[in-house]
A and B are shown apart, each in its own frame.
Chain A
Amino acid sequence: MSFLDLDEFLIDLAAQVEVVYSPVVDAKEYPENVDVCLIEGAICNEDHIEMVHKIRARTKIVVSFGDCAVTGNVTAIRNQLGLGNQENVLQRAYVEAAQLNPCIPKLDGIVPPLLERVIPVHEMIHVDHFLTGCPPSAPRIKSFVSQLLEGKAPQLTGTDIKFG
């Protein structure tokens, strides 16, 4: 959502990039030869593992985009519950908090099995750049993306880095 705060810069951006894959692009398969991928969110289930490996293999520049991807952030708080926490998490979400049909979905392909630990993206694949923030603010995204468009390795220093 913070990306949309880029306002009119989005129009300039649209002229320079082709968005080939995203939750709002109607592409089922992550394509080959992608220049840049901004990964949002940490790795928390088996689908994510498959996805990040595919992204790494098919992408030149991989960016951890936002605190969840960079640190695990709030999504990794369940790690504090120790091993086996995924059972508790599912129990809480699908049984205790459910108003209709309380049961944990067990059929294949419905809910990807959760991992024992939520991990930041760079614990699994090589990440080229990190843009922290929860969320990263529009000016910081703009500065970061602009440097990428110029073909530079984005240099974030001082106040350009911001957790939380």
Chain B
Amino acid sequence: MAAKTLTINGQQVTAEEGATVLQVARDAKINIPTLCHLDGMKDVGACRLCIVEVVGTPKLLPACTTVIAEGMEIKTESDRLRKYRKMTLELLFAERNHVCAVCVANGHCELQTLAYEQGVDHVRYDYLFPKWGVDTTHERFGMDHNRCILCSRCVRACVEIEGAATKSIAGRGAKSKIISDLNEPWGEADSCTSCGKCVQSCPTGALFNKGSTVAEMEHDRSHLDYVVTAREKKLWVTHA
């Protein structure tokens, strides 16, 4: 496969054709914040946290779904990027009911961590305070729609890794919702194998093990990567 040469933050890097800006940046130890990306699954560019500036393009492009090209000049940090990343995070907080103090994932939440990194100490937009429910019909897991950021990690884990395709997204815009099968209570979704990969993939407290109380839900993010590596390389190790 042909190699492409490009620069990221002035640093010259070479990578294989077809790689994404995110992959190349991570290989070069350049950190780009992400939320909907999870190692081992396809990228969808849903969260817009990984936006980067590409010289010659007025638009900001998501690093996770932008494929590299010869001679590309990329910037991963600028005042403009910081401004939009912060705005994106604030809008995520305003869109649903993220009450950190009473959340199962408090202290183990990627949304929180990113907010701290990007300096979000308050939300400038009016909170919407929508009315969402909690689905606790499944025997072992719960889904709290109040904490969902619609990153679709659970949907991808379910279809790509487990192959069950129980989870999907219904509705449009801010009213979109993660559903099980044909919008049935999770406990009645026949296709669910109860593997829990969706729960491990969730960045916030939206998916949790039943019985966990405030700050107790720690997701094992490496679980999916582990399963994928095991399948593809026949190695039962993390990050082979």
Binding site for B on A (CB under 8 A): 64, 67, 70-74, 76-77, 79-82, 117, 120, 122-123, 127, 130-132, 134, 156-159, 161-164
Contact = CB atoms under 8 A, between A and B. Distances in A.
Interface residues of B, number: 26
A70 B106 contact: no
B237 interface: no
B126 A163 contact: no
Residue from A70, A79, A80, A163 having most chain B Cβ neighbours under 10 A:
A163
A134 B100 contact: yes
Interface stretch (B69-77, B114-122, B135-143, B149-157): B114-122
Contacts of A120: 122-123, 127
Given A71-B99, A76-B99, A122-B122, 5 more contacts: A134-B101, A157-B119, A158-B117, A159-B116, A164-B100
A67 B101 contact: yes
A80 B127 CA distance: 10
Contacts of B116: 158-159, 161-162
Q: Which 5 A-B pairs have the closest CB atoms?
A: A164-B100, A134-B101, A79-B129, A163-B100, A164-B106
Given A71-B127, A79-B127, A156 B101 contact: no
Interface of B: 93, 97, 99-103, 106-107, 112, 115-117, 119-124, 126-127, 129-132, 215
A70 B101 contact: no
Contacts of A159: 116
A64 B127 contact: no
B102 A74 contact: yes
B99 A81 contact: no
A130 B100 CA distance: 16
A163 B115 contact: yes
